[in-house]
Amino acid sequence: MGGARLTGEVRVTGAKNSVLKLMAASLLAEGTTVLHEVPDILDVEYMSELLRRLGCEVVRDGATRSVAIAVPEVPSHKADYDLVRKLRASINVLGPLLARCGQADVALPGGDNIGSRGLDMHVAGLERLGATVRSEHGFLIATRDDRLHGATVWLDFPSVGATENLLMAGVLAKGTTVIDNAAREPEIVDICSMLIAMGAQIDGVGTSTLEIEGVESLSPAEHTTVPDRLVAGTWAVAATMTRGDLTVRNARPDHLEIALDKLVSAGALVDELDDGFRVRCHDRPRAVDVVTLPYPGFPTDLQPQFIALNSIARGAAMVTENLFEARFRFVNEMVRLGADVRTDGHHAMVRGKESLSGAPVEAADIRAGAGLVLAGLVAEGVTTVYEPHHVDRGYEGFIDDLVRLGADVSRISVNQLS
Ligand code: UD1
């Protein structure tokens, strides 16, 4: 039910996009790795299940938000399609399994094939390190004869997933691996910190050139996951859109510089705190142009939330999506809510309206789902977001937090709807 002002405090947990990779990285060392600040979300459950099938024991301690992963001496090396199709990040076990076991069989996520857009940089990079990679019966099969060997890899694009896979393969390779044009996301810095705690030697962390001196073996480690900048950013947009006042704890404003600056341009007041930030907005926000780019550029994972913001803002703005064009599919759902958005290729022109009007809409992915919930918070009447499980993949206790902060929102089963 639209119309509420969000006020109060909310605490963010560890980043989904980091923790899934940290869990995969645990495969690199025999023994028990302990991760802290692990969000209680569906994607973590899927990754836990994947690790269990590889022979690991995965135990969550709800009270401390920690997960202990006991990795056997020889993990198995096959990730089946039933899990991979639910969790694209399954591809992140490719590098560590290949390095550790000498072979990795990972089902191809739908639509991908060797050499196709999506996995080509992962494959080409691993081949440079001495792997043989082939596609067979829907699986990507990577093998090596001997230990992987260091090499220089130039990525065509600073892909997050490819940088992570190559890092995890390079840390156990013989000699020096250089990843040039590497991704620089805070989640990459996080995995580097964990790998270093495990005994890896990595230089250039946080820059676009990573230099890795391979070691013979790694040891398990204990690591606290970096806070989720995308969840924190979603709350910041929610505060601005609802003309609310939110204090977001366990957040890193330095990981959200452009996004928070955009909200200031939109009219919000943003204060940095020791452990997070506070966002307030008193008036109808102004529309702001956004261009998504790899970090430190504006994150594509906050693009739908900013389209939602612009759709009720004063003025018009252009949103340019440079990473995932399919993310604009969500625009059709915004139009159902009365938004004035037109797309042309990878540009979306959003003309702000005084108000949106609640309607049934469908979430196609995590961030689209979050964007639609935000739009529902400011739309007149009731908005029903179908397929909310997408939101559960990335936002822990989203509905409970929204209710606590003053929103009128509830989860209903499909039976209640019919
Ligand atoms: C990760 C995040 C995702 C985020 C994205 C960009 C996780 C689980 N997901 O996805 O939320 O939106 O980073 O910040 O961490 N590409 C290729 N070939 C490759 C690899 C990628 O063409 O071998 C293309 C992709 O199709 C896409 C772009 O590069 O267009 C960015 O992909 P990448 O940075 O790899 O994103 P992910 O790691 O998949």
Convert the pLDDT of each residue in 149-176 to its tens digit: 999 999 999 999 999 999 999 999 999 9
pLDDT tens-digit map of 176-217: 999 999 999 999 999 999 999 999 999 999 999 999 999 999
Please compute the mean of the pLDDT values over residues 402-410 and round it to a whole number.
Answer: 97
Domain boundary among 194, 224, 254: 224
The beta-strand segments (E) located in 21-88 are 31-36, 57-61, 66-71, 78-79
* Count of all residues that appear for the chain in the document: 418
Q: Domain check: are 141 and 281 in the same one? A: no
pLDDT-derived band at 302 (thresholds 50, 70, 90) equals very high
183 alpha carbon to ligand 1 midpoint, in Å?
10
* C-alpha to C-alpha distance for 42 and 68, rounded to whole angstroms: 17
Residue whose CB lies within 8 A of the most ligand 1 atoms, among 18, 22, 133, 157, for a mutation test = 157
Name the band, by pLDDT with cuts 50, 70 and 90, for residue 272.
very high
**What is the rounded distance in angstroms from the CA atom of residue 343 to the CA atom of residue 63?**
45
- pLDDT at position 86, please? 84
Q: Is the pLDDT of residue 45 over 80?
A: yes
1 is a domain residue: no
pLDDT in the model for residue 222: 98
Say how many Å lie between the CA of residue 160 and the centre of ligand 1. Answer: 6
CA proximity to 169, closest of 156, 187, 151, 145: 151
Would you say residue 64 lies in a domain?
yes
Q: What residue numbers bound the domain in which 32 lies?
A: 16-224
Question: Using 50, 70 and 90 to split pLDDT, how confident is the model at 111?
Answer: very low
Please compute the mean of the pLDDT values over residues 307-322 and round it to a whole number. 98
**Residue 7 has what pLDDT?**
98
Which residue puts its alpha carbon closest to atom 1 of ligand 1?
160
CATH number at residue 84: 3.65.10.10
State residue 324's pLDDT score. Answer: 87
Query: What predicted TM-score, i.e. pTM, was given to this entire model?
Result: 0.96
Instruction: For residue 148, give both structure tokens.
Output: 């992987």
Comparing C-alpha atoms, which of 108, 98, 44 is closest to residue 75?
98
Which atom of ligand 1 is closest in space to residue 121's alpha carbon? Answer: 23
Ligand 1 centroid–CA 294 distance in Å is 9
Check whether residue 307 and residue 372 sit in a common domain: yes
Whole-number pLDDT of residue 113: 43
In-domain check, residue 6: no
